[in-house]
């Protein structure tokens, strides 16, 4: 049961990593398309979105193989400065 939960969290982490460049690609594609809506800008926007999807898949898979997606997401969202401040404050309160 815990193995299923671990795999599920890794998949969610993988999707979060893929979503980051994909969202950037959607924004750039939307700006290009809506600035002058025609078939040419639609094709360019779709190419940019597909490229950003491939970049996201590449990075997410690379991170998943190297150290795991949840470990990576935990590291980038960690706040060591705040953790150190809390630790120092609790030491002062004990004294």
What pLDDT, on the 0 to 100 scale, is given for residue 90? Answer: 74
What pLDDT, on the 0 to 100 scale, is given for residue 81? Answer: 74
What would the pLDDT profile of 31-52 be if each residue is shown by its tens digit?
A: 999 999 999 999 999 999 999 9
* pLDDT class of 54 with cuts at 50, 70, 90: very high
Please determine, for residue 78, whether its predicted confidence score (pLDDT) is greater than 70. Answer: yes
**Full DSSP string of 23-87:** HHHHHHHHHHHHHS-SHHHHHHHHHHHHHHHHHHHHHHHHHHHHT-HHHHHHHHT--HHHHHHHH
The chain-wide mean pLDDT, for the chain, equals: 90
């Amino acid at each position: 049961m815990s193995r299923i939960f671990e795999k599920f969290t890794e998949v969610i982490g993988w999707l979060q990593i893929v979503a980051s460049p994909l969202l950037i690609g959607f924004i750039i594609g939307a700006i290009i398309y809506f600035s002058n809506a025609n078939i040419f800008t639609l094709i360019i926007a779709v190419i940019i979105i597909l490229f950003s999807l491939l970049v996201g898949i590449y990075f997410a898979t690379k991170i998943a193989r190297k150290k795991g997606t949840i470990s990576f997401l935990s590291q980038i969202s960690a706040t060591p400065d705040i953790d150190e401040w809390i630790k120092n404050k609790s030491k002062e309160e004990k004294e």
